[in-house]
A and B are shown apart, each in its own frame.
Chain A
Amino acid sequence: MTRLRFHMTFPEERVKEPILYEISQKFRVVPNIRRADVSDSSGWVELELEGELPEIERTIDYLRKRGIHVDPLEKTILEG
Protein backbone atom coordinates (compact mmCIF):
# COMPACT_ATOMS: atom_id res chain seq x y z
CA MET A 1 0.00 0.00 0.00
CA THR A 2 1.15 3.50 -0.81
CA ARG A 3 0.14 6.80 0.72
CA LEU A 4 0.59 9.94 -1.36
CA ARG A 5 -0.32 13.54 -0.56
CA PHE A 6 -1.98 15.94 -2.96
CA HIS A 7 -3.25 19.48 -3.33
CA MET A 8 -6.45 19.55 -5.39
CA THR A 9 -8.14 22.65 -6.72
CA PHE A 10 -11.82 22.48 -7.66
CA PRO A 11 -13.24 24.89 -10.25
CA GLU A 12 -16.59 26.57 -9.61
CA GLU A 13 -18.57 24.06 -11.66
CA ARG A 14 -17.27 21.16 -9.55
CA VAL A 15 -17.48 22.67 -6.08
CA LYS A 16 -20.91 21.23 -5.28
CA GLU A 17 -20.23 17.72 -6.54
CA PRO A 18 -19.35 14.89 -4.11
CA ILE A 19 -16.24 13.99 -6.05
CA LEU A 20 -14.21 12.63 -3.17
CA TYR A 21 -17.07 10.29 -2.27
CA GLU A 22 -17.20 9.30 -5.93
CA ILE A 23 -13.53 8.31 -6.09
CA SER A 24 -13.78 6.25 -2.94
CA GLN A 25 -16.63 4.29 -4.61
CA LYS A 26 -15.07 4.05 -8.03
CA PHE A 27 -11.49 3.21 -7.05
CA ARG A 28 -9.85 1.23 -4.27
CA VAL A 29 -8.38 4.28 -2.59
CA VAL A 30 -8.97 5.85 0.81
CA PRO A 31 -9.02 9.67 0.81
CA ASN A 32 -8.01 11.30 4.08
CA ILE A 33 -8.62 15.07 4.10
CA ARG A 34 -6.30 17.19 6.27
CA ARG A 35 -6.98 20.75 5.14
CA ALA A 36 -9.56 22.36 2.90
CA ASP A 37 -11.08 25.70 2.00
CA VAL A 38 -14.23 25.76 -0.07
CA SER A 39 -16.27 28.73 -1.21
CA ASP A 40 -19.07 29.22 -3.74
CA SER A 41 -16.65 29.95 -6.55
CA SER A 42 -13.78 27.51 -5.95
CA GLY A 43 -12.11 25.34 -3.40
CA TRP A 44 -9.01 23.40 -2.54
CA VAL A 45 -8.39 20.26 -0.58
CA GLU A 46 -5.17 18.80 0.79
CA LEU A 47 -5.45 15.09 1.33
CA GLU A 48 -3.73 11.78 1.44
CA LEU A 49 -4.72 8.94 -0.86
CA GLU A 50 -3.99 5.43 0.33
CA GLY A 51 -4.05 2.47 -2.01
CA GLU A 52 -1.98 0.56 -4.55
CA LEU A 53 0.07 2.94 -6.70
CA PRO A 54 -1.61 2.07 -10.04
CA GLU A 55 -5.00 2.62 -8.41
CA ILE A 56 -3.92 6.01 -7.08
CA GLU A 57 -2.67 6.92 -10.55
CA ARG A 58 -5.98 5.92 -12.12
CA THR A 59 -7.75 8.05 -9.54
CA ILE A 60 -5.61 11.07 -10.41
CA ASP A 61 -6.22 10.59 -14.12
CA TYR A 62 -9.96 10.42 -13.46
CA LEU A 63 -9.91 13.58 -11.35
CA ARG A 64 -7.95 15.49 -14.00
CA LYS A 65 -10.44 14.42 -16.64
CA ARG A 66 -13.21 15.80 -14.41
CA GLY A 67 -11.48 19.19 -14.42
CA ILE A 68 -9.89 18.97 -11.00
CA HIS A 69 -6.38 20.44 -10.85
CA VAL A 70 -4.20 17.90 -9.06
CA ASP A 71 -0.70 18.75 -7.89
CA PRO A 72 1.65 17.27 -5.35
CA LEU A 73 1.13 18.70 -1.89
CA GLU A 74 4.12 20.97 -2.57
CA LYS A 75 2.29 22.41 -5.62
CA THR A 76 4.70 23.63 -8.32
CA ILE A 77 8.19 22.28 -7.62
CA LEU A 78 9.69 22.87 -11.05
CA GLU A 79 11.18 26.36 -10.85
CA GLY A 80 12.83 28.62 -13.39
Chain B
Amino acid sequence: MSNPSASHRPSPEGTSPSAFLKGLKCRECGRLYDLAAIHVCDFCFGPLEVDYDYEAIRRVLTRDAIQKGPNSLWRYKHLLPVVNEPTIGLHAGMTPLLKADRLGKALGLKRLYIKNDTVNHPTLSFKDRVVAVAINRARELGFKTVACASTGNLANSVSAHAASAGMNCFVFIPHDLEAGKILGNLIYKPTVVAVKGNYDDVNRLCSEIGAEYPWAFVNINIRPYYAEGSKSMAFETAEQLGWRIPDQVVVPIASGSLLTKIWKGFQEFSSLGIVDAHPGLKVNGAQASGCSPVYQAFMAGRTQFVPVKPKTIAKSLAIGNPADGYYSLDVVGKSHGQVEAATDPEIVEGMVLLAETEGVFAETAGGVTVACLRKLAKKGAIRPDDLTVAYITGNGLKTMEALTGYLPEPVGIDPTLASFRKIVNPS
Protein backbone atom coordinates (compact mmCIF):
# COMPACT_ATOMS: atom_id res chain seq x y z
CA MET B 1 0.00 0.00 0.00
CA SER B 2 1.65 3.16 -1.09
CA ASN B 3 1.45 6.49 0.57
CA PRO B 4 1.23 8.90 -2.35
CA SER B 5 2.50 11.96 -0.56
CA ALA B 6 5.64 10.19 0.60
CA SER B 7 6.32 8.52 -2.74
CA HIS B 8 6.36 11.93 -4.37
CA ARG B 9 9.13 13.33 -2.26
CA PRO B 10 11.55 15.05 -4.59
CA SER B 11 14.54 12.91 -5.37
CA PRO B 12 17.83 14.26 -4.07
CA GLU B 13 19.17 14.89 -7.54
CA GLY B 14 19.21 13.79 -11.12
CA THR B 15 15.64 14.37 -12.19
CA SER B 16 16.60 16.50 -15.17
CA PRO B 17 16.18 14.76 -18.52
CA SER B 18 19.20 13.47 -20.40
CA ALA B 19 19.79 13.72 -24.12
CA PHE B 20 17.79 10.54 -24.66
CA LEU B 21 15.34 10.43 -21.76
CA LYS B 22 12.34 12.73 -21.74
CA GLY B 23 10.77 11.67 -18.45
CA LEU B 24 8.27 9.17 -17.13
CA LYS B 25 4.91 8.61 -18.76
CA CYS B 26 1.75 6.93 -17.51
CA ARG B 27 1.04 3.77 -19.48
CA GLU B 28 -2.69 4.35 -19.12
CA CYS B 29 -3.44 8.08 -19.36
CA GLY B 30 -0.19 9.35 -20.87
CA ARG B 31 0.50 11.99 -18.21
CA LEU B 32 4.14 13.05 -18.01
CA TYR B 33 6.37 13.13 -14.94
CA ASP B 34 9.97 13.99 -14.06
CA LEU B 35 12.62 11.26 -14.03
CA ALA B 36 12.16 10.75 -10.30
CA ALA B 37 11.82 7.77 -7.98
CA ILE B 38 8.09 7.34 -8.64
CA HIS B 39 6.23 4.46 -10.22
CA VAL B 40 2.50 5.24 -10.25
CA CYS B 41 0.50 7.95 -11.97
CA ASP B 42 -0.94 10.28 -9.33
CA PHE B 43 -4.06 10.79 -11.37
CA CYS B 44 -5.16 7.33 -12.57
CA PHE B 45 -2.82 5.02 -10.61
CA GLY B 46 -1.50 3.56 -13.88
CA PRO B 47 2.12 2.36 -13.97
CA LEU B 48 4.79 4.79 -15.14
CA GLU B 49 7.23 3.96 -17.92
CA VAL B 50 10.36 5.66 -19.17
CA ASP B 51 9.70 8.00 -22.09
CA TYR B 52 12.62 8.10 -24.54
CA ASP B 53 13.49 10.65 -27.18
CA TYR B 54 13.60 8.17 -30.04
CA GLU B 55 14.43 10.82 -32.62
CA ALA B 56 17.58 11.74 -30.72
CA ILE B 57 18.45 8.07 -30.27
CA ARG B 58 17.92 7.36 -33.96
CA ARG B 59 20.57 9.96 -34.82
CA VAL B 60 23.31 8.19 -32.88
CA LEU B 61 22.37 4.53 -32.52
CA THR B 62 23.64 2.25 -35.27
CA ARG B 63 24.70 -1.38 -35.44
CA ASP B 64 28.28 -0.18 -35.66
CA ALA B 65 27.94 2.01 -32.55
CA ILE B 66 26.47 -0.92 -30.64
CA GLN B 67 29.25 -3.28 -31.71
CA LYS B 68 31.89 -0.79 -30.59
CA GLY B 69 30.32 -0.73 -27.12
CA PRO B 70 31.26 -2.87 -24.13
CA ASN B 71 30.60 -6.61 -24.09
CA SER B 72 27.68 -6.17 -21.70
CA LEU B 73 24.12 -4.84 -21.72
CA TRP B 74 25.61 -1.33 -21.59
CA ARG B 75 26.31 -1.52 -25.31
CA TYR B 76 22.59 -0.59 -25.54
CA LYS B 77 22.84 2.25 -23.03
CA HIS B 78 21.02 4.69 -25.34
CA LEU B 79 17.91 2.59 -24.78
CA LEU B 80 18.40 2.14 -21.04
CA PRO B 81 17.25 4.70 -18.45
CA VAL B 82 20.52 5.98 -17.02
CA VAL B 83 21.72 9.53 -17.46
CA ASN B 84 25.44 9.15 -16.73
CA GLU B 85 28.00 6.51 -17.64
CA PRO B 86 27.20 3.33 -15.66
CA THR B 87 29.57 2.49 -12.82
CA ILE B 88 27.99 -0.63 -11.32
CA GLY B 89 27.01 -3.96 -12.88
CA LEU B 90 29.37 -3.40 -15.77
CA HIS B 91 29.47 -7.08 -16.74
CA ALA B 92 25.78 -7.95 -16.77
CA GLY B 93 24.31 -9.21 -20.00
CA MET B 94 25.78 -10.41 -23.31
CA THR B 95 25.14 -13.97 -22.21
CA PRO B 96 25.45 -16.75 -24.81
CA LEU B 97 22.75 -17.44 -27.38
CA LEU B 98 23.16 -21.17 -27.94
CA LYS B 99 22.04 -22.97 -31.06
CA ALA B 100 20.22 -25.82 -29.34
CA ASP B 101 20.35 -28.55 -31.97
CA ARG B 102 20.10 -31.51 -29.61
CA LEU B 103 17.21 -30.05 -27.64
CA GLY B 104 15.63 -28.98 -30.91
CA LYS B 105 15.88 -32.53 -32.24
CA ALA B 106 14.18 -33.87 -29.11
CA LEU B 107 11.34 -31.38 -29.57
CA GLY B 108 11.10 -31.51 -33.36
CA LEU B 109 12.42 -27.96 -33.84
CA LYS B 110 15.11 -27.28 -36.43
CA ARG B 111 16.00 -23.68 -35.58
CA LEU B 112 15.93 -23.48 -31.82
CA TYR B 113 18.12 -21.18 -29.71
CA ILE B 114 18.54 -20.85 -25.96
CA LYS B 115 19.26 -17.45 -24.44
CA ASN B 116 21.39 -18.60 -21.55
CA ASP B 117 21.14 -16.24 -18.57
CA THR B 118 22.24 -19.01 -16.20
CA VAL B 119 25.70 -17.48 -16.60
CA ASN B 120 24.79 -13.84 -16.08
CA HIS B 121 27.13 -11.75 -13.94
CA PRO B 122 27.41 -11.49 -10.99
CA THR B 123 24.65 -13.74 -9.58
CA LEU B 124 23.71 -16.13 -12.39
CA SER B 125 20.22 -14.95 -13.25
CA PHE B 126 18.52 -12.43 -15.53
CA LYS B 127 17.88 -10.27 -12.46
CA ASP B 128 21.46 -9.03 -12.88
CA ARG B 129 20.21 -7.07 -15.89
CA VAL B 130 17.37 -5.26 -14.18
CA VAL B 131 19.27 -4.70 -10.96
CA ALA B 132 22.31 -3.30 -12.79
CA VAL B 133 20.06 -0.68 -14.34
CA ALA B 134 18.15 -0.04 -11.09
CA ILE B 135 21.26 0.45 -8.96
CA ASN B 136 22.89 2.83 -11.41
CA ARG B 137 19.71 4.87 -11.60
CA ALA B 138 19.29 4.78 -7.82
CA ARG B 139 22.80 6.21 -7.41
CA GLU B 140 22.06 8.91 -9.95
CA LEU B 141 19.00 9.83 -7.93
CA GLY B 142 21.15 10.15 -4.82
CA PHE B 143 19.99 7.10 -2.88
CA LYS B 144 22.35 5.56 -0.33
CA THR B 145 20.17 2.55 0.50
CA VAL B 146 18.60 -0.06 -1.78
CA ALA B 147 15.97 -2.61 -0.82
CA CYS B 148 13.85 -5.43 -2.14
CA ALA B 149 11.46 -8.12 -0.99
CA SER B 150 12.66 -11.43 -2.34
CA THR B 151 13.20 -15.07 -1.52
CA GLY B 152 15.77 -15.76 -4.22
CA ASN B 153 17.30 -14.34 -7.39
CA LEU B 154 16.29 -10.73 -6.87
CA ALA B 155 17.70 -10.66 -3.33
CA ASN B 156 20.95 -12.21 -4.58
CA SER B 157 21.40 -9.66 -7.28
CA VAL B 158 20.43 -6.61 -5.21
CA SER B 159 22.73 -7.72 -2.37
CA ALA B 160 25.69 -8.30 -4.69
CA HIS B 161 25.28 -5.05 -6.61
CA ALA B 162 24.77 -3.06 -3.41
CA ALA B 163 27.95 -4.56 -1.98
CA SER B 164 29.98 -3.61 -5.03
CA ALA B 165 28.48 -0.11 -4.98
CA GLY B 166 29.12 0.30 -1.25
CA MET B 167 25.43 0.98 -0.62
CA ASN B 168 23.32 -0.06 2.34
CA CYS B 169 21.01 -2.93 1.50
CA PHE B 170 17.82 -4.26 3.07
CA VAL B 171 16.27 -7.54 2.00
CA PHE B 172 12.83 -8.51 3.32
CA ILE B 173 11.81 -12.15 3.60
CA PRO B 174 9.04 -14.13 5.33
CA HIS B 175 10.30 -15.33 8.73
CA ASP B 176 9.66 -19.01 7.96
CA LEU B 177 11.77 -19.11 4.79
CA GLU B 178 14.23 -22.04 4.81
CA ALA B 179 17.66 -20.88 5.98
CA GLY B 180 19.36 -22.27 2.88
CA LYS B 181 17.39 -19.93 0.66
CA ILE B 182 18.97 -16.88 2.14
CA LEU B 183 22.53 -18.14 2.75
CA GLY B 184 23.68 -16.99 -0.66
CA ASN B 185 22.69 -13.45 0.27
CA LEU B 186 24.31 -13.22 3.68
CA ILE B 187 27.80 -13.37 2.18
CA TYR B 188 27.19 -9.89 0.73
CA LYS B 189 26.29 -8.56 4.21
CA PRO B 190 22.90 -6.99 3.52
CA THR B 191 20.49 -6.47 6.41
CA VAL B 192 18.07 -9.35 6.03
CA VAL B 193 14.76 -8.62 7.73
CA ALA B 194 12.63 -11.68 8.49
CA VAL B 195 9.03 -10.52 8.80
CA LYS B 196 6.73 -12.49 11.10
CA GLY B 197 3.78 -13.13 8.86
CA ASN B 198 2.85 -14.74 5.57
CA TYR B 199 3.71 -13.65 2.04
CA ASP B 200 0.79 -11.19 1.96
CA ASP B 201 2.02 -9.58 5.17
CA VAL B 202 5.55 -9.17 3.79
CA ASN B 203 4.11 -7.74 0.62
CA ARG B 204 2.00 -5.22 2.43
CA LEU B 205 4.75 -4.16 4.82
CA CYS B 206 7.18 -3.61 1.95
CA SER B 207 4.72 -1.37 0.18
CA GLU B 208 4.33 0.70 3.34
CA ILE B 209 8.09 0.84 3.95
CA GLY B 210 8.62 1.78 0.32
CA ALA B 211 6.30 4.73 0.83
CA GLU B 212 7.83 5.87 4.10
CA TYR B 213 11.60 5.40 3.86
CA PRO B 214 13.86 7.32 1.48
CA TRP B 215 15.26 4.15 -0.06
CA ALA B 216 15.50 2.84 -3.56
CA PHE B 217 13.12 -0.11 -3.47
CA VAL B 218 14.11 -1.65 -6.77
CA ASN B 219 10.76 -3.10 -7.73
CA ILE B 220 8.62 -0.37 -6.17
CA ASN B 221 9.72 3.25 -6.58
CA ILE B 222 12.59 2.37 -8.96
CA ARG B 223 10.48 -0.07 -10.97
CA PRO B 224 10.12 2.06 -14.12
CA TYR B 225 13.94 2.02 -14.51
CA TYR B 226 14.50 -1.49 -13.16
CA ALA B 227 12.06 -3.08 -15.59
CA GLU B 228 13.75 -1.52 -18.61
CA GLY B 229 16.84 -3.67 -18.03
CA SER B 230 14.88 -6.65 -19.34
CA LYS B 231 14.82 -5.14 -22.83
CA SER B 232 18.48 -6.04 -23.15
CA MET B 233 17.41 -9.69 -23.51
CA ALA B 234 15.69 -8.76 -26.77
CA PHE B 235 18.48 -6.47 -27.98
CA GLU B 236 21.09 -9.18 -27.45
CA THR B 237 18.90 -11.83 -29.07
CA ALA B 238 18.46 -9.72 -32.20
CA GLU B 239 22.16 -8.87 -32.42
CA GLN B 240 23.31 -12.45 -31.74
CA LEU B 241 20.94 -13.78 -34.41
CA GLY B 242 22.69 -11.55 -36.94
CA TRP B 243 20.45 -8.48 -36.51
CA ARG B 244 17.09 -10.11 -36.88
CA ILE B 245 13.97 -10.75 -34.85
CA PRO B 246 13.01 -14.42 -34.33
CA ASP B 247 9.68 -15.94 -35.38
CA GLN B 248 8.82 -17.19 -31.89
CA VAL B 249 10.00 -16.54 -28.37
CA VAL B 250 9.11 -18.43 -25.20
CA VAL B 251 9.40 -16.37 -22.03
CA PRO B 252 8.70 -17.37 -18.42
CA ILE B 253 6.08 -15.23 -16.68
CA ALA B 254 6.49 -14.17 -13.06
CA SER B 255 5.45 -10.51 -12.77
CA GLY B 256 5.03 -10.46 -16.55
CA SER B 257 7.52 -7.63 -16.91
CA LEU B 258 10.19 -9.67 -18.73
CA LEU B 259 7.75 -10.77 -21.42
CA THR B 260 6.44 -7.27 -22.07
CA LYS B 261 9.94 -5.79 -22.13
CA ILE B 262 11.26 -8.39 -24.57
CA TRP B 263 8.42 -7.40 -26.87
CA LYS B 264 9.22 -3.72 -26.32
CA GLY B 265 12.92 -4.31 -27.02
CA PHE B 266 12.20 -5.89 -30.39
CA GLN B 267 9.75 -3.09 -31.23
CA GLU B 268 12.32 -0.42 -30.35
CA PHE B 269 15.03 -2.05 -32.44
CA SER B 270 12.77 -2.32 -35.46
CA SER B 271 11.28 1.17 -35.16
CA LEU B 272 14.82 2.61 -34.93
CA GLY B 273 15.85 0.70 -38.04
CA ILE B 274 18.43 -1.44 -36.23
CA VAL B 275 16.65 -4.56 -37.49
CA ASP B 276 13.90 -5.17 -40.01
CA ALA B 277 10.41 -5.25 -38.57
CA HIS B 278 8.96 -8.71 -38.11
CA PRO B 279 5.18 -8.47 -37.68
CA GLY B 280 5.03 -12.28 -37.50
CA LEU B 281 6.89 -12.48 -34.18
CA LYS B 282 4.88 -14.54 -31.70
CA VAL B 283 5.50 -13.97 -28.00
CA ASN B 284 4.61 -17.03 -25.90
CA GLY B 285 4.41 -17.13 -22.12
CA ALA B 286 5.34 -19.97 -19.77
CA GLN B 287 4.01 -20.42 -16.25
CA ALA B 288 4.10 -23.10 -13.59
CA SER B 289 0.70 -24.78 -13.17
CA GLY B 290 0.92 -24.13 -9.44
CA CYS B 291 1.02 -20.39 -10.05
CA SER B 292 -0.61 -19.67 -13.37
CA PRO B 293 -2.98 -16.70 -13.19
CA VAL B 294 -1.97 -15.48 -16.66
CA TYR B 295 -2.29 -18.95 -18.20
CA GLN B 296 -5.73 -19.40 -16.65
CA ALA B 297 -6.94 -16.06 -17.99
CA PHE B 298 -5.49 -16.85 -21.42
CA MET B 299 -7.22 -20.22 -21.54
CA ALA B 300 -10.52 -18.68 -20.47
CA GLY B 301 -10.20 -15.94 -23.08
CA ARG B 302 -10.31 -13.24 -20.41
CA THR B 303 -8.32 -10.03 -20.26
CA GLN B 304 -8.53 -10.00 -16.47
CA PHE B 305 -6.83 -12.52 -14.27
CA VAL B 306 -7.65 -13.74 -10.80
CA PRO B 307 -4.84 -13.67 -8.19
CA VAL B 308 -3.76 -17.10 -6.92
CA LYS B 309 -1.91 -18.57 -3.95
CA PRO B 310 1.32 -19.98 -5.41
CA LYS B 311 2.12 -23.65 -4.89
CA THR B 312 4.94 -24.71 -7.16
CA ILE B 313 8.59 -25.71 -7.08
CA ALA B 314 9.28 -22.84 -9.49
CA LYS B 315 9.68 -20.32 -6.68
CA SER B 316 11.20 -17.65 -8.88
CA LEU B 317 7.95 -17.56 -10.89
CA ALA B 318 5.65 -17.75 -7.85
CA ILE B 319 3.92 -14.40 -8.14
CA GLY B 320 0.25 -14.76 -7.41
CA ASN B 321 -0.84 -11.27 -8.46
CA PRO B 322 1.57 -10.24 -11.21
CA ALA B 323 1.97 -6.49 -11.68
CA ASP B 324 2.28 -6.84 -15.44
CA GLY B 325 -0.08 -9.78 -15.84
CA TYR B 326 -2.59 -7.72 -17.80
CA TYR B 327 0.08 -6.27 -20.08
CA SER B 328 1.68 -9.65 -20.72
CA LEU B 329 -1.72 -11.04 -21.76
CA ASP B 330 -2.04 -8.05 -24.07
CA VAL B 331 1.36 -8.70 -25.72
CA VAL B 332 0.64 -12.41 -26.13
CA GLY B 333 -2.73 -11.56 -27.66
CA LYS B 334 -1.53 -8.96 -30.14
CA SER B 335 1.44 -11.08 -31.24
CA HIS B 336 -0.84 -14.13 -31.67
CA GLY B 337 1.27 -16.11 -29.22
CA GLN B 338 0.08 -18.48 -26.54
CA VAL B 339 0.52 -19.11 -22.83
CA GLU B 340 1.31 -22.60 -21.55
CA ALA B 341 1.74 -24.05 -18.08
CA ALA B 342 3.83 -26.90 -16.67
CA THR B 343 3.26 -29.12 -13.65
CA ASP B 344 6.02 -29.72 -11.11
CA PRO B 345 7.06 -33.09 -12.60
CA GLU B 346 7.05 -31.53 -16.08
CA ILE B 347 9.25 -28.72 -14.77
CA VAL B 348 11.85 -31.20 -13.52
CA GLU B 349 11.65 -33.12 -16.81
CA GLY B 350 12.31 -29.83 -18.59
CA MET B 351 15.36 -29.13 -16.42
CA VAL B 352 16.73 -32.61 -17.06
CA LEU B 353 16.04 -32.46 -20.80
CA LEU B 354 17.85 -29.13 -21.12
CA ALA B 355 20.81 -30.39 -19.12
CA GLU B 356 21.19 -33.71 -20.93
CA THR B 357 20.80 -32.25 -24.41
CA GLU B 358 22.56 -28.91 -24.15
CA GLY B 359 24.68 -29.11 -21.02
CA VAL B 360 22.81 -26.20 -19.46
CA PHE B 361 21.76 -26.56 -15.83
CA ALA B 362 18.81 -24.23 -15.36
CA GLU B 363 16.81 -23.46 -12.25
CA THR B 364 13.16 -24.47 -12.07
CA ALA B 365 12.05 -21.46 -14.12
CA GLY B 366 14.16 -22.84 -16.98
CA GLY B 367 12.36 -26.14 -16.55
CA VAL B 368 9.07 -24.27 -16.94
CA THR B 369 10.27 -22.65 -20.15
CA VAL B 370 11.49 -25.92 -21.67
CA ALA B 371 8.36 -27.84 -20.61
CA CYS B 372 6.11 -25.17 -22.13
CA LEU B 373 8.27 -24.99 -25.26
CA ARG B 374 7.80 -28.74 -25.61
CA LYS B 375 4.01 -28.38 -25.33
CA LEU B 376 3.90 -25.55 -27.85
CA ALA B 377 5.97 -27.58 -30.31
CA LYS B 378 3.91 -30.70 -29.77
CA LYS B 379 0.62 -28.98 -30.52
CA GLY B 380 2.03 -27.21 -33.57
CA ALA B 381 1.87 -23.70 -32.17
CA ILE B 382 5.62 -23.57 -32.87
CA ARG B 383 6.46 -25.15 -36.21
CA PRO B 384 9.68 -27.07 -36.95
CA ASP B 385 11.12 -24.34 -39.19
CA ASP B 386 10.27 -21.40 -36.95
CA LEU B 387 13.29 -19.48 -35.73
CA THR B 388 12.62 -19.87 -32.01
CA VAL B 389 14.34 -18.49 -28.91
CA ALA B 390 13.63 -19.82 -25.41
CA TYR B 391 14.69 -17.69 -22.46
CA ILE B 392 16.49 -19.51 -19.64
CA THR B 393 16.63 -17.05 -16.78
CA GLY B 394 18.48 -18.61 -13.84
CA ASN B 395 21.10 -21.15 -12.81
CA GLY B 396 20.20 -24.63 -11.57
CA LEU B 397 22.62 -24.42 -8.65
CA LYS B 398 20.05 -22.10 -7.05
CA THR B 399 17.26 -24.68 -6.93
CA MET B 400 19.03 -27.99 -6.30
CA GLU B 401 16.35 -29.05 -3.82
CA ALA B 402 13.81 -29.33 -6.64
CA LEU B 403 15.72 -32.31 -8.02
CA THR B 404 15.66 -34.37 -4.84
CA GLY B 405 14.40 -37.85 -5.65
CA TYR B 406 14.23 -37.24 -9.39
CA LEU B 407 17.77 -38.16 -10.42
CA PRO B 408 19.46 -41.59 -10.45
CA GLU B 409 21.85 -42.55 -7.66
CA PRO B 410 25.59 -42.80 -8.47
CA VAL B 411 26.75 -46.23 -9.66
CA GLY B 412 28.68 -47.88 -6.79
CA ILE B 413 31.72 -50.06 -7.50
CA ASP B 414 34.58 -51.67 -5.61
CA PRO B 415 37.95 -49.97 -6.02
CA THR B 416 39.04 -52.48 -8.69
CA LEU B 417 39.28 -52.38 -12.45
CA ALA B 418 37.25 -55.58 -12.65
CA SER B 419 34.39 -53.98 -10.81
CA PHE B 420 34.50 -50.96 -13.11
CA ARG B 421 34.56 -53.20 -16.20
CA LYS B 422 31.35 -54.87 -15.05
CA ILE B 423 29.66 -51.48 -15.09
CA VAL B 424 31.01 -50.38 -18.46
CA ASN B 425 30.40 -53.68 -20.15
CA PRO B 426 27.93 -55.74 -18.14
CA SER B 427 27.85 -58.57 -20.71
Contact = CB atoms under 8 A, between A and B. Distances in A.
B307 A79 contact: no
Contact of B3 (A3, A9, A41, A42): A3
Interface string B307-330: 100000011111111110100000
B254 to A, nearest CB: 7
In terms of DSSP, what is the predominant structure of the interface of chain A? strand
Given A4-B2, A43-B304, A80 B45 contact: no
Given A3-B5, A4-B1, A72-B203, A80 B46 contact: no
A73 B1 contact: yes
Contacts of B321: 7, 9, 69, 71, 75-76
| B: contact size bracket | 35 or more
B204 A80 contact: no
Interface string A36-48: 0101011110101
Contact of A35 (B28, B203, B210): B28
Given A3-B5, A4-B3, A35-B46, A79 B306 contact: no
A77 B207 contact: yes
A73 B317 CA distance: 20
A28 interface: no
B148 A79 contact: yes
Interface in A6-34: 6-7, 9, 11, 34
B45 A34 contact: yes
Interface string B322-362: 11010000000000000000000000000000000000000
A72 B204 contact: yes
Contacts of A80: 150-154, 254, 314-319, 365
Q: Which of A2, A34, A41, A74 neighbours the largest number of chain B CB atoms within 10 Å of its CB?
A: A74
Contacts of A6: 1
Interface in B86-122: none
Nearest to A2: B3
Interface string B216-234: 0001100100000000000
A79 B45 contact: no
Nearest to B151: A80
B202 interface: yes
Interface stretch (B36-44, B161-169, B241-249): B36-44
B399 to A, nearest CB: 9
Interface in B124-168: 148-154
8 contacts: A11-B306, A35-B45, A72-B204, A74-B2, A75-B325, A78-B199, A78-B203, A79-B316
Sort A-B residue pairs by CB-CB distance and give the 6 closest, nearest first: A80-B316, A72-B207, A4-B1, A75-B321, A80-B152, A34-B45
Interface of B: 1-5, 28, 39-40, 43-46, 148-154, 172, 174, 199-200, 202-204, 206-208, 210, 219-220, 223, 254-255, 302, 304, 306-307, 314-323, 325, 365
